[in-house]
C-alpha cells in the first residue's frame, strides 16, 4: 500500500471516549514505520522504557 495518499480511511482510526483520534494497527502498518510515540496499537513492538524494539 502506498502511503503517499494522506487521506484517512474509517479503518485507520477511531475516536476514544476522551475525544482523541487513535490510530489502528492497520494504519501503522500502512504508514510503514514506527514513530516511537508509544502508540496504543503499534505493531512494531517499540518499548518506550528501553527505547528498543
Residue 3 clears pLDDT 70, i.e. is over it: no
Determine the Cα–Cα distance for residues 12 and 27; give it in Å rounded to an integer: 5
**DSSP assignment of 2-52:** -TT--PPPGGGEEE-TTS-EEE-HHHHHHHTS--SS--TT-SS--BTTTTB
Q: How confident is the model at residue 7 (pLDDT cuts 50, 70, 90)?
A: confident
Question: What is the reported pTM?
Answer: 0.78
pLDDT digits (tens, 9 = 90+) for 10-47: 999 999 999 999 999 999 999 999 999 999 999 999 98
Q: State the pLDDT at residue 31.
A: 92
Q: How confident is the model at residue 6 (pLDDT cuts 50, 70, 90)?
A: confident
Amino acid at each position: 500500500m502506498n502511503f503517499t495518499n494522506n487521506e484517512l480511511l474509517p479503518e485507520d482510526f477511531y475516536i476514544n471516549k476522551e475525544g482523541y483520534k487513535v490510530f489502528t494497527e492497520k494504519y501503522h502498518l500502512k504508514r510503514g514505520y514506527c514513530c516511537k510515540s508509544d502508540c496504543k496499537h503499534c505493531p512494531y513492538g517499540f518499548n518506550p522504557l528501553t527505547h528498543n524494539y
